[in-house]
Structure 1
Amino acid sequence: MAVNVLFPRKHALVGGQRRALSRLASKRPVSAPQNDWIRRMLFPTEADGYQQTKLRSVPHRDLFDRDINYEQAHAVNDVCVNVYGTLPYLISGPPGTGKTKTLVETAMQLLNTTNVAHVLICAPSEAAADMLALRLKQHLNTKQLLRLNRPGRADNEVAPELLQYCYIENDMFYLPPFKKLMAFNIVVTSCRDAAILADARLTNNELWTIQQNMASAFQPEDAAPTLSLHWGALLIDEAAQATEIDILPAISVVCPPSAYPTNLPQPRFAMAGDENQLGPRTASRDPQFSTSLFARLFDRPLYAEHTLSRSKTKPFSRPPVMKKSMLPITYPPFTLLIRNYRSHPAILSVPSSLFYSDTLIPEAVAPQTLLQTSSLWRGRKWPVLFLPHTGIDEIERDGGGWYNISEAHIACNLAQSLVYESRVQQSDVCIMSPFAAQVKLLRGLIRSNHYGSGAGLWDVNIGPVEAFQGLEKRVVVLCTTRTREKFLDRDRERGVGVVGERRKMNVALTRAKEGLFVIGCPAVLGRDREWAAWMKFCWRNGLVGDEKRGWCAGEGAGG
């Protein structure tokens, strides 16, 4: 039987990206001198930066957020003072280090301590953009802050407390009238919806050119005054999760016109993200399409080969620190956030070593609850437990996804033990697996009458690893699912599983705050260098469970 399958393109999304690319491509160098801001943002070199000739002092600012730490304060100060040159400023924030907090403080300081009057803030997802707006609304009123949404977004997707910061017309989200829009100090939107501003000709290029032409038309005998740009800064959160072309619409909004004098203040461009976690979700695995602008910039010599980069950190040493003997040096156009406020030190130890050159400093305060004294923990009694498991993995009929029944029972029994013995709220427990079929099995099993005294445990969070990026839970149970080595090569080709997927592994291990359980086959995990290191950590410290435990076999009992 022949079947025709049609995959329509998302014209609204692709169209905005294509137009942004066209606008930026039109700014290629010509014979006459011109502003090369876009080249500096996309392909920065050391020559575009400033030289640092003296050690920087501790920044002293009247902060809106009193909990800003030393590294975050330096990032805020660097962007506001612009001590690094006309370059993208990158804030590398590993899990739980406060990337969003840093960007919010940066936006407020730009408005209140610099000549920047209008800031565009974007994020790859609507949820991340909403979170930015929710934090900013603590400091701004409805005349200062706009949460810009595309007309097709449902209003029930937006938090009720944010609706007053949105513009609604004819029961749809809409672009405000020109005069009202120009008055907002901060506009928050998704990277995709930044194209709304560009298509409405509300870019620095269009606005500045119109102003200059109008001034020349009214006073042709006088030299036209040099006007300032409307958008003074572009800030992007979770930048490592956006493809390069995703960010182009936002960049095209703030990009200055070619004729804009280079001796005047240029728009600032800062991004926060984590290049070591999962990148953009794309159908193609080709790095040319799946690498974010954030990650690509961090690989450029200006950032990767800088003396203060993470890659220059020696094993078991402190994060790199600027010393007088290093001067003069190119001022670092980046900040490395190193203080983790999420996870127990034992949970953080191996990810810090494997993915962040041992630079992370645990700052989370461990609460004293029944979970900390649970009989589940082994060895040093740290809240990390590896459960070796060799139960067979199976595949759904007709070549569907992979699942593992015995592993699913272990995970669900663990969740029940956590809820009833350690008094952990169901919503504070997360079970994740890299295989969709295993996620489906877990959801059906834990909601059955075998758990929760016959009522099921409906509030336990279960999903694929990717779904939990950016989130945190008190306790995480990771089901690695795969137990047969002969299928690993196929898994790698398809980009599934956690073996050979270091970024996915990083995400999976760093969601937990107070407790981490990993169920996996030692032989399979041992084929991966990073997983082998994590298992050695567990064996070395006695953090290994026993399959003979009651909650490791069979079906769960009632509470």
Structure 2
Amino acid sequence: RAELIRGKHGVEIVSDHDQGNGNIRFPVVPGEPRTVTVQVQNRGTEAVTLQRFQPRHQSRELSFSDEQGAVQGQSLVLHPGGTYPIRVRCLTTCNGHFSTVVFFEFTKEPDESFSISRYVAAVAESQLAKDLGPSAPFQPYEASLQRLVTVITEDGIPPNSSLHNELEREIPLGTYQYPKSLKDTILLGPNSSASSRWAAMRSLLEAPLQPENYYQKFQLLLHLEEIQMEVDIRRYDMQDVPMVQDRALLVLDVRRRVPGVAESRPSLLRGDHLFAHLSSERDHSPLVQYKGYVHSVELEKVRLGFSSKLLKKFVNNLKFDVTFTFSRLPLQVQHRAAVLAMRRGLFSLLFPSASCHKSLFPGPFQPRWFDRKLQSNEEQCRAVTHIVTGMSRPAPYLIFGPPGTGKTVTMVEAIKQVWTCLKDARILACAPSNSATDLLCQRLIKDIAPQNVYRLIASSRNYREVPADIMPCCNWDSEQSSYVYPSKEHLKRYRIIITTLVTAGRLVSANFPPGFFSHVFIDECGHAVEPESLVAIAGLLAPMDQETNPNGGQLVLAGDPKQLGPILTSPLAIQHGLGTSLLERLMLHNPLYKKSSGGYDPQFITKLLWNYRSHKAILKIPNELFYDNELKVCHSDGLDIRNLYCNWEELPKKGFPIIFHGVCGEDQREAKSPSFFNTAEIEVLLHYLKKLLQSQGKGNCPIVSPKEIGIISPYRKQVEKIRKAITSLDRDLQKVPNIGQLKVGSVEEFQGQERQVILISTVRSCSTYLQFDQTFRLGFLKNPKRLNVAITRAKALLIVVGNPAVLSKDPHWHSFLRYCMEEGGYTGYPY
């Protein structure tokens, strides 16, 4: 690009609206034509000929003209000292960013030719868009070179570990560090002295997963992910940050300097640690660094326990350089799970080939349903029946739950029926996240007395985040103000234990007798990498065996492989299968779970079909693209909230509660953040948001509270800017009661949730970085699972704001866009 924009042979392209770096940018107002001039100057000593003036693509809003027809293809001689003007006219009906690249092609005697280019953009934007614009020019991230320096580490003070821990640790947890040679192999690449090691690594990565390579392959994939995590976390290191003292702790204010921390990047939990050294000593050798343990995290303030040596010399606002770390515990328990799977021969669970056809239930299963609504849903009843009778064993039973079909309801009913009908059953119920695990617990204790259920929570969790209704059955001890971990004997009294997948590792360490747990249920299994699901299985669930374990070994997995999988950072690990959950792998590669012409085999898997969430218009495209058009809209008795917005006056077409508002915006970045934002889309989002919140009861707009509205965007910076616009810049929205309850977040943050109204900002308006997005699984394009999750969060109204020209390049978005246009739901930028 530098070569293309550079003036040559004395020829320069100039304008009053030059922004530098080959950019010409000028403001316009919708509905008012504006013309600016670009001058072609010959400052050289010889004549040159402008042979051709060529815009790279035609723009509806931008047109070019000149006196002598150069724009129409006429050549033009420009003598030394001469200047020739070309006019650029813009007329737009809406706000946005309208641009093209133009090429000026010249010749000079004897037969030399050369080109100069300019990026020409007209921008129509509101004051809000200007206020949200880049805070500083974008600077690409550059990893700082690590100096080789001797480091002396002063250990800090961990948080109060008076927690009552009687839970045995009989099975050790190794460190499972990656070998340094592996990191060297990755850094050096295939064409280096490490080429033989690279070839061996590729050979293992590309081999299909099977019992013979199960542990080795997952060990390598987890190592690759950890190496990438180490690289990524360096982006969050801080320099020259002040701390203040609060009794025996130092307080670090992270939000202003690490924009991602409030969104758990880097994740900081109680018990984690970071390193800090005095900024004034950063060039010293040896360098004294202080290890600080996280005692608490409250919004942007992190309280840290450092050594008394640091506290003695500390004064308020002393400046530090801070290096973040991440907890390795989740990686360690996953490594151990893969080892235990191999040692304990769990392959009839992980690579099932048949069922033993042995029922756990004598005679026909005729349950008393806890949730009466299930009786009218054939698929839910069938799934529960097969789970209780255990006829899939030793193979796992799968509940394939598309959005809004009651997957968790089905799993909870199955747990209740197993608990009621099989008196010897002992159940472990898990999910990847605390929120999903809490939900299982909340729904179970509606019908099962809390003294029969134990919710085991990790000590790193802030107890204030634990829902009040599960406090009576969890391990928080309010008298001691800490979490307690009862002995194995104590935990054996409970027939239902509920934990996150990682915290189930504590139960593995305790070494419960083989076969103690007869059933393991994993909800949201599609969100977890396979070794994470394995933590709740290996060492806790013995496979069903006719001789040694005839009544146990039932594994139940619920999820949706068409929705988002686990969040990973290593492209190499993603490419070779770490992003494929256990549920998805079984459905993709195991014949027992394959769909045949007659559908799925109900002995092993049930696909839920009745959607209770979305208006039929919202469900139509996801149903066609991802679910073989099998989903059915469940009709409601009485007032159906799915129809609330069908007559809203803002709809382009009444009765069709989807708006696709086309915007021709601009991809922007700022300062050192690589994340994109698009202010033109935020303007449109706020227009609709205000109509929803301020027109309640008028224009057929129902009354809706902010907590029933969700705004989704795939880029962290766009999420940040939307929040800022709502809470700081727009005075009307600031006055709306409970506006703080309106959630703005990424697609991942909304998975498993629903709202009456969903607004989506797609952000991307330029094709330049789409390959970058695809490589790192960013954005909506080339990531159909993200599109599926975003659309299917909405119950009654879906508003999508995006650039139709860019989105239509993706086949899934193209289908959605075409559908909106055919149904009359498209508005905004003419397309």
Give the AA of the match of 1:242.
A
Larger helix proportion of the pair = 1
Structure of larger gyration radius: 2
Q: Relative to structure 1, is the Cα distance of residues 17 and 378 closer, same or farther in structure 2, using a 3 angstrom cutoff?
A: same
Equivalent residue number for residue 404 of structure 2: 96
> CA, structure 1 residues 42+150, in 2 after alignment: closer, same or farther (shift >3 Å)?
same
Report the equivalent of 2:465.
157
The 5 Å alignment of 1:205-354 reads 205=514, 229-256=515-542, 261=547, 264-284=550-570, 285-307=574-596, 312=597, 320=598, 332-354=603-625
Q: Within 5 Å, give how 1:88-487 maps onto structure 2.
A: 88-169=396-477, 170-202=480-512, 204-205=513-514, 229-256=515-542, 261=547, 264-284=550-570, 285-307=574-596, 312=597, 320=598, 332-363=603-634, 365=636, 366-367=640-641, 371-379=645-653, 381-398=655-672, 400-421=674-695, 422=701, 423-452=703-732, 455=735, 457-487=739-769
Q: Report the TM-score, using the length of structure 1 for normalisation.
A: 0.82
Is the aligned partner of 1:503 residue 2:777? no
TM-superposed CA distance for 1:261, in Å, is: 2.3
Identify the range of structure 1 (58-67 vs 478-487) with the bigger mean alpha-carbon deviation: 58-67
Structure 1 residues 239, 258: CA separation in 2 closer, same or farther (over 3 Å shift)? closer
Q: CA deviation at 1:135?
A: 0.5
Per the alignment, residue 212 of structure 1 pairs with none
1:110-144 Cα distance to aligned partner (Å, 9 max, x none)? 12112542100000001110000000111122321
- TM superposition shift of 1:394: 1.6
Between 1:264-273 and 1:373-382, the stretch displaced more is 373-382
SS of 2:728 mapped into structure 1: coil
User: In structure 2, do the counterparts of structure 1 residues 408 and 368 end up closer, same or farther at CA, with 3 Å as the change threshold?
Assistant: closer
Cα distance between partner residues in 1 of 2:351 and 2:642: 50
Q: Which amino acid aligns with 1:16?
A: V
Deviates more, 1:366-375 or 1:342-351: 366-375
Q: Which segments of 5 or more consecutive residues in structure 2 lack a partner in the other structure?
A: 1-143, 148-233, 235-322, 696-700
Structure 2 length normalisation: TM-score?
0.56
* Residue identity in the other structure for 1:335: T
Contact 1:275–1:294 under 8 Å retained in 2: yes
CA deviation profile, 1:158-196 (whole Å, cap 9, x unmatched): 111211101345432222233331111100110001011
Which structure has more relative contact order (CA 8 Å, sep 6+)? It is 1
In the alignment, structure 1 residue 65 sits paired with structure 2 residue 371: yes
Paired residue type of 1:433:
S
**2:483 is matched by which residue type in structure 1?**
F
Q: Which residue of 2 aligns with 1:556?
A: none
Distance 1:50 1:436, change over 3 A: same
2:75 equivalent in structure 1: none
Whole-Å separation in 2 of the counterparts to 1:304 and 1:83: 14
- 1:396 is displaced (CA, Å) by 1.7
Correspondence 1:543 to 2:825: yes
Deviations 1:472-527 (A, max 9, x none): 01101110110112221222122111011100000111000000011111111111
Separation in 1, partners of 2:725, 2:429: 42
CA contact (8 A) 1:432 1:462 kept: yes
Report if aligned partners of 2:713, 2:745 keep a CA contact under 8 Å in 1.
yes
For residues 827 and 364 of structure 2, what CA distance do their matches in structure 1 show?
47
Q: 1:507 and 1:453 mapped to 2: Cα distance?
A: 27
- Matched residue SS, 1:15: helix
Between 1:481-490 and 1:249-258, the stretch displaced more is: 249-258
Corresponding pairs, count? 492
Alpha-carbon displacement from aligned partner over 1:393-427 (angstroms, at most 9, x marks no partner): 22223463211111101001111101111232112
User: After superposition, what is the alpha-carbon deviation per residue over 1:230-275, rounded to whole angstroms, capped at 9, x for unaligned?
Assistant: 2110001000001111112210243328998257223211010010
- Kindly provide the CA deviation profile for residues 360-379 of structure 1, in whole angstroms up to 9, marking residues without a partner as x: 11115433886332111123
Q: Tell which deviates more after alignment, 384-393 or 469-478.
A: 384-393
Aligned-residue offset at 1:58: 11
Aligned residue identity for 1:64: F
CA distance in 1, matches of 2:449, 2:755: 32
Amino acid across the alignment from 1:141: A
CA contact (8 A) 1:238 1:273 kept: yes
What is aligned with 1:226?
A: none
Structure 1 segments unaligned to the other structure (5+ residues)? 29-37, 206-228, 313-319, 323-329, 549-559
Task: Please give the alpha-carbon distance, in whole angstroms, between the structure 2 residues aligned to 1:459 and 1:364.
Answer: 29
Evaluate the alpha carbon distance shift between residue 437 and residue 262 of structure 1 in structure 2; reply closer, same or farther with a 3 A threshold.
same
1:248 partner SS: helix
Map Cα deviations across residues 175-221 of structure 1 (whole Å, 9 max, x no partner). 2233331111100110001011111112x42xxxxxxxxxxxxxxxx
User: How much identity, in percent, do the aligned residues show?
Assistant: 29
